[in-house]
A and B are shown apart, each in its own frame.
Chain A
Amino acid sequence: MQTVQRRTLPLRLPRVRPGGVLPILAILAVLLVLVGIRQPDFLSPPSLMSFLGRSAPIILLAAGQYFVIVSGEFDLSVGSLVTAQVVVAARLIDGDPTRTWPVVLLLLAFGALVGLVNGLITTRLRVPSFITTLGMFLILVGAVYLWSDGAPKGGLSEEFRRFGRRAFEDVPLLGRVPYALLVLLALAAVAVLLMRSDFGRTLVAVGDNPRTAELSGVRVWRTRTIAFILSGLAAAAAAILLGGYSGVSFQAGAGLEFGAITAVVLGGVALGGGRGSVVGAMLGALTLELLFALMNFYGVSGALRSTVQGAIILLAVAVSATRSSSR
């Protein structure tokens, strides 16, 4: 069984890998030029650094969503999970700096647990992930509301908030380097290494053709469950950064699941799984954030963001559908 797996997978890889980092880089470059024309200030080191820091949470979420999507599933629960994590963190820390690290660990465990539940319900109970994670979304929203009476309580310590808010100041050339950016780079490196490992190949194979993967000896349910756990962990990391950035909020994660899915699709990852790279997904998130920044500079109402996201999802899926049918 093992040998079969080893032989088939590398053969499939060349088809999988080109999943399109070049198109997204091209879009990113065009947007950078447009931003540079409109608001040259934005490209100055401090401003660019804080932009990257602010974009770190959505980029992490896109990476987490990538694992799930490339394996052929969806995770709609990440936005509500982020909100739940921020509210839980505020209530548990309650302004006490000594509780920061235990709560951070707890949040990561909580994220992994939610991912595990999502994964097991999807793979073992055979509930479509769309429904599983929608259910989880509603459960988390309701639970948070019930637990907090609809008003946030407690407070985040400065120690907790520094991950999302503070930066190394006075760095030569760059000006300031946000902690969030360093967290992002470290976790992005882990994500890339993970996708280059056996696990990554298996994950893509599972999304490409679960039946073949199953026959080649891959435990599809386990691989997909791990993908959900990774998504939950990414949500926890994003929640720590977002909570740090904006403080206690009932809307910290509102709409982030759609942002992450849009970013993943924009980054050339096929909905339905099996195609695209995690770097593409993360660049997709960066591109999306840059697009929103550009819209802001041109005075386009922020209310149009969800419209733009919807259009991108439809367009990207339509493009990839016509491309694969013409093959």
Chain B
Amino acid sequence: MRRSMAALAAVTLLSLTACATDEPAASPSGSAPAGSGTGDQSKFFVQADYDAELSLLTAAPTGPADKPWEQVLNPKMVDTAKFKKTGPHKICFSNAALNNPWRQVGFKTMQAEVEAQKSRIKEFVHVDAEGKDQKQIADINDLLGKDCDALIVSPNTTATLTPAVEAACQAGLPVVVFDRGVNTKCPVTFINPIGGYGFGHVGAEFVSQKMKPGGKVLALRILPGVDVLETRWSAAKVAFDKAKVDVVGVEFTDGDPAKTKKIVDDYIQRYGTIDGVWMDAGAVAVAAVEAFQDAGKPVPPMNGEDQLDFLKIWKDKNLTAIAPTYPTYQWRTPIIAALRILDGEQVSSPWKLPQPTVTQDNLDRYLDPSMPPLHYAMCGCTDLPGYPQRWK
């Protein structure tokens, strides 16, 4: 009985491989199902914001050219005289989370900026909300009782954190919000780069221009419902619809390489070939590249981000790629802004930072093979104390 079982197993394995003597067909089955297309526009899409961000892509920034974290696009200065205070100061920071490499690199940059300014900052208090709205609301509330001279907030989610930020404003503190926004104008300034529309547009334009007309694009998103990511996709959708490419799939990867590789692999198997890949965040770009490599297919035009593992594979494999960025150097700016506000200096509100793009032409400038694969090239950290060890 047992022997027959083993024999059966052997026969199965053999028959599996025997089927393998079939000639591979020249093309994949032509009747592959129609793509899901780009679907309806996201409810996060606001035409005016989209137009504004796209115009910022070509706007000339004011400020020192070698310090993009101090530059401003279309500045609108606000008065801060009422917050003037003599230092050294105690600066408090309520952080949404440290749960991805982007935030880890950013926070190290912020710590280094604090160190660089240590003559002016007597104490820096950091509270990590670990990605939980409720914890961050409690964190901000706690910080209000700790004699902070200025409060920096990187909100976990926009709507839920709005009342907590309003409460901080009412306590008379200068509040600086950065990265993700809140639905109130009460903070002294809101600091972020151009934003999601700019990111999504740059990647989608590149992919649709570099691939064959009407080719098949796979769009990879992290998760639905986050404004930064929704705007990235909605701008890409506009570009793809305009270029009339065939978006065969829009899939959520959770930002996970294992899931990403599986999804891309499934699409390669289903369609035989994919002509372009667009993604709303580059952290899983390398997994997508590997899916093509392991399937023995050429890597199609795609976008990633300024994470070094992607820049490296881009250069090594000579990919047709582009990397719009959401620079981690924006973590320096809130510290600089807080100190200027406490000096009573005018600052721009909102404070829009430039958002450079890594292209084939400037790739070598950003690719530093001595830094770890999960480091971000746009850290703006090379002049800061502790570079490079702090970021390794």
A residues in contact (CB < 8 Å) with B = 13-14, 17-18, 21-22, 25, 28, 32, 36, 38-50, 52, 54, 95, 149-153, 155, 165, 173-175, 192, 196, 242, 245-252, 277, 279, 282-283, 293, 296-299, 302
Contact = CB atoms under 8 A, between A and B. Distances in A.
B269 interface: yes
Nearest to A28: B12
B101 A151 contact: yes
A174 B6 CA distance: 22
Contact of B20 (A22, A38, A48): A48
A196 B270 contact: no
Interface residues of B, number: 53
Interface string B268-296: 01101000000000000011001000111
Interface of B: 1-2, 5-6, 8-9, 12, 16-17, 19-25, 28-29, 32-33, 97-101, 103-104, 130-131, 251, 254, 256-263, 265-266, 269-270, 272, 286-287, 290, 294-296, 372-374
B269 A297 contact: yes
Nearest to A19: B5
Given A14-B1, A21-B5, A40-B22, A247 B98 contact: no
A279 B8 contact: yes
A155 B374 CA distance: 9
Contacts of A42: 269
A296 B28 CA distance: 14
B10 to A, nearest CB: 10
Given A192-B9, A252-B258, A299-B33, 19 more contacts: A32-B16, A39-B269, A40-B22, A42-B269, A44-B23, A44-B24, A48-B17, A49-B20, A149-B99, A150-B99, A151-B103, A165-B294, A245-B258, A246-B260, A247-B257, A248-B257, A249-B256, A296-B270, A297-B29
B17 A95 contact: no
Given A153-B374, A246-B257, A247-B287, A299 B32 contact: yes
Identify which of A54, A196, A299 gathers the most chain B CB atoms within 10 Å of its CB.
Answer: A299
A293 B104 contact: no
B97 A277 contact: no
A151 B20 contact: no
Given A150-B97, A250-B256, A279-B6, A41 B286 contact: no
